[in-house]
Structure 1
Amino acid sequence: METKYNIVKQSLKAKILDGTFQPHQKINSESELMKEFDVSRHTIRLAIGDLVNQGWLYRRQGSGTYCADRSNEEVVQQVGTLKNIAIIATYISNYIFPSIIRGAESYLSQKGYHVSLFSTNNNHDNEKRVLEKILSQSYDGVIVEPTKSAMSNPNINYYLNLERQNIPYVMINAYYDELEPISLVVDDEKGGYLQTEHLIKLGHSNILGFFKSDDAQGTKRMKGFLKAHRSYQFPINPNNIVTYSSAEMDTKPIKELQRILSYTDKPTAIVCYNDQLAISLLDVLREKNLSIPEDISIVGYDDSFLANVTEVKLSTIEHPKNEMGSKAAQMILDMIKNNSNGNQIKKDTVESVVFEPKLIIRHSTQALLSENKTL
């Protein structure tokens, strides 16, 4: 069980990290803190004393306790210059992110930087804890994949605090719109368009689309899916669009595909949010004794290692995994270099990058046979 003293200490520290307490701002009095946390004066003094000793707060005799400016030169000298870069991923050890990390780590290590890896598991509470850790320690810059980037983010203040402390950050795969950060992304709307257009040109009109709804990549890929239908003047069947959240990604798409395949008018092609989902759906299609691509075509996204591991090699959209990681590393070091004179970070010194998507055609898609127009 966490002690009262530690609860007070961590709460005060969190308010410093999220910017509630600004540098040189006076914090609440001991009496006010006693009421707020329902603890003794001794407990408050222990918590404040620790934070003063660690450089988070400072006291003025006869005036009170104030938030320290941890971005000043004295503090920077105390923590040292270890040349640390933090990389924050939604899922650190699977799918395409190891390739992105290798690209970044290879470049950064050549430049003498140490890399620390963090995972949020696409969870805002985890993201908050990671950002608190980064703000508490000595990092020169941050490469971050946003958490649930299609949703309102409760941790924006932490990113603003990074900016206040002059710690540059670069966002990859997606970005928080309200921050207008430097970012590296794939044109996911165009990628979704290319997936769908490929199937339309093969003669498919009854196309099923699966899209992740809490990441910006999913919403943009769905927009491309819809735009392709409109460009080719094909009506869009609302029942052919399946959205799912991160929490549902292992269950809902499979259940929905099983349900849809029970219809008389079955789809003849599937657009998938990514290759990982496509592989999961292939198992359902096999269970239904459907052959790919003879009975149904399927196209993935990301050109991950999964696109080649099954007997059916996936048609997919290329993702510049290693290149994105390496370029993000170059950009964050450029921002650090431009900031080395102690001036405020200028975002116009480094420009955001949008990678053009490319369709890779393999064996999971083919022209619709006339006898398969209705499975």
Structure 2
Amino acid sequence: MLTKYNMVKKAIKSKIINGTYIPNQKISSESELMKEFSVSRHTVRQAIGDLVTTGWLYREQGSGTFCADRSAMSNNQEQGSQKNIAIITTYISDYIFPSIIRGAEARLSDEGYQVSIFSTNNNQENEQRILEKILTQKFDGIIVEPTKSAYSNPNINYYLNLERLSIPYIMINAYYDELEPINIVMDDEKGGFLQTEHLIKRGHQNIIGCFKTDDTQGTKRMKGFLKAHRQNKIPINPSNIITYTTEEKDTKPVDELKKILASKNNCNTGLVCYNDELAMKFLDVLRTMNIQVPDDLSIVGYDDSPLAEISEVKLTSIAHPKSELGEAAANMIIDLIKLKKDNKNKDVYNANSIVYPPEIIIRTSTKDLNKSKMTS
């Protein structure tokens, strides 16, 4: 449990980190802080004194206490100091993320950067804590995979503070649209289109789509799913669309799929999945329901992860650049850091973003119904 002194100190520090207090701005008076936190004047003075000593605040006799300009301090410390890059991802140890991180880390290590890796677990509060930690330490640049990128993000102030401090950052896999950051992403709408079009071209007209909708990747893939139906003039059954959030991912998709497949009106022959990880869960469900893939139901995944080839049914999937994307992110952040140094902290946010085109990798998880009709 935080002491009162540390509570006040942490609150003031957080306001500096998130940009509430900007350099040379006067902070709340001692009396205001006493009232806000219900603490004594001694406690307030102790907290402020510590922040002055550590360079977060400075005092002017007769005027008050002000937020220090830490960007100037950081620039003065750059010469000869260790080079550090932060990588923030939603997850670290599973699925495609190790490949992305390895691609970035190898390139950054070659350039002499120390890499610190953080995981938000797709939780916005975790993202805030990580950004606060990064802003209190010295990092030359940051590679970020946004957290719940389809939602309005409560941590935008922290990214604006990075910009104010001239700390370059780029976003991978998705981005916060309001910030318009430099980003490296896939064309997920086209990817969702290709997933669905592949099944349609193989004669499937009743197709289930399952998408994670708190990340923009999922919303765009769902948009591609809908667009493929419309362009091919195939009616969309709203009850065939399953959506879920991060918190629901372990239960809702499976429960909803079971309901659809158990319905007496079920005539679905195709299934488009948000990613390969979800497709693997669905394969387990179908196995328990004695539904054969691809004879009874064809499945398409996304990301062409290692999971696509480990099961008895080899999964048709959309290729994700993985380590190539990680390496491209590393090259871009290195270039931005060099540009910042060459331009003496002038605007560095003018590099070109990268959009990878999707490609479908066809394996054995989808059936061509057109051939079946020709032989019958």
The TM-score with structure 2 as length reference comes to 0.96
Task: Name whichever of 264-273 and 67-76 sits farther off.
Answer: 67-76
Deviation at 1:266?
3.2
Q: Which runs of 5+ in 2 are unaligned?
A: none
User: Is the 8 Å Cα contact of residues 82 and 138 (structure 1) preserved in structure 2?
Assistant: no
1:98 maps to which residue? 98
Q: Which runs of 5+ in 1 are unaligned?
A: none
Distance 1:35 1:80 in 2: 44
Deviation at 1:118?
0.4
1:151 maps to which residue? 151
Task: Name whichever of 40-49 and 225-234 sits farther off.
Answer: 40-49
User: Is the 8 Å Cα contact of residues 301 and 317 (structure 2) preserved in structure 1?
Assistant: yes
Deviation at 1:10?
0.6
Distance 2:98 2:90 in 1: 12
- Residue 237 of structure 2 aligns with an amino acid whose one-letter code is N
1:283 maps to which residue? 284
Within the alignment, does 1:266 sit opposite 2:267 as a pair? yes
Query: Residues 208-230 of structure 1, C-alpha deviation per residue, up to 9 Å, x if partnerless?
Result: 00000100000000000000000
1:27 maps to which residue? 27
User: Is the 8 Å Cα contact of residues 19 and 161 (structure 1) preserved in structure 2?
Assistant: yes
Residues 171-320 of structure 1 correspond to what in structure 2 (within 5 A)?
171-264=171-264, 265-320=266-321
Deviation at 1:285?
0.4
Distance 1:161 1:137 in 2: 14
Within the alignment, does 1:352 sit opposite 2:353 as a pair? yes
Query: Residues 136-192 of structure 1, C-alpha deviation per residue, up to 9 Å, x if partnerless?
Result: 000000000000000000000000000000000010000000100000000000000
The 1:123/1:80 distance shift into structure 2, 3 A limit, reads farther
SS at match of 2:274: coil
Distance 2:107 2:205 in 1: 45
Deviation at 1:309?
1.2
- Residue 340 of structure 1 aligns with an amino acid whose one-letter code is K
Deviation at 1:368?
2.3
Within the alignment, does 1:111 sit opposite 2:129 as a pair? no
Distance 1:346 1:233 in 2: 46
2:77 maps to which residue? 77
Distance 2:141 2:77 in 1: 17
SS at match of 1:351: coil
Distance 1:322 1:78 in 2: 30
- Residue 3 of structure 2 aligns with an amino acid whose one-letter code is T
Query: Residues 45-69 of structure 1, C-alpha deviation per residue, up to 9 Å, x if partnerless?
Result: 1111111111111111221110000
SS at match of 2:70: coil
1:57 maps to which residue? 57
Distance 2:68 2:137 in 1: 15
Distance 1:160 1:80 in 2: 27
Distance 1:106 1:346 in 2: 24
Distance 1:28 1:144 in 2: 33
User: Is the 8 Å Cα contact of residues 304 and 319 (structure 2) preserved in structure 1?
Assistant: yes
User: Is the 8 Å Cα contact of residues 81 and 138 (structure 1) preserved in structure 2?
Assistant: no
Distance 1:54 1:289 in 2: 65
Distance 1:230 1:76 in 2: 58
SS at match of 1:72: helix
Distance 1:244 1:124 in 2: 17
Identity %: 65
Distance 1:128 1:76 in 2: 27
User: Is the 8 Å Cα contact of residues 70 and 76 (structure 1) preserved in structure 2?
Assistant: no
Where has structure 1 moved over 6 Å in runs of 4 or more? 369-372
Distance 1:236 1:78 in 2: 57
- Residue 279 of structure 1 aligns with an amino acid whose one-letter code is M
Deviation at 1:74?
6.3
User: Is the 8 Å Cα contact of residues 168 and 348 (structure 2) preserved in structure 1?
Assistant: no
User: Is the 8 Å Cα contact of residues 90 and 120 (structure 1) preserved in structure 2?
Assistant: yes
2:86 maps to which residue? 86
User: Is the 8 Å Cα contact of residues 74 and 138 (structure 2) preserved in structure 1?
Assistant: no
Q: How many residues align?
A: 371
User: Root-mean-square deviation (CA), in Å?
Assistant: 1.4
The 1:74/1:145 distance shift into structure 2, 3 A limit, reads closer
User: Is the 8 Å Cα contact of residues 168 and 349 (structure 2) preserved in structure 1?
Assistant: no
User: Is the 8 Å Cα contact of residues 209 and 242 (structure 1) preserved in structure 2?
Assistant: yes
Distance 1:94 1:125 in 2: 21
- Residue 282 of structure 2 aligns with an amino acid whose one-letter code is L
1:368 maps to which residue? 369
The 1:73/1:49 distance shift into structure 2, 3 A limit, reads closer
SS at match of 1:71: helix
Query: Residues 250-295 of structure 1, C-alpha deviation per residue, up to 9 Å, x if partnerless?
Result: 1000000111111122311100000000000001100110111011
- Residue 173 of structure 1 aligns with an amino acid whose one-letter code is N
- Residue 293 of structure 2 aligns with an amino acid whose one-letter code is I
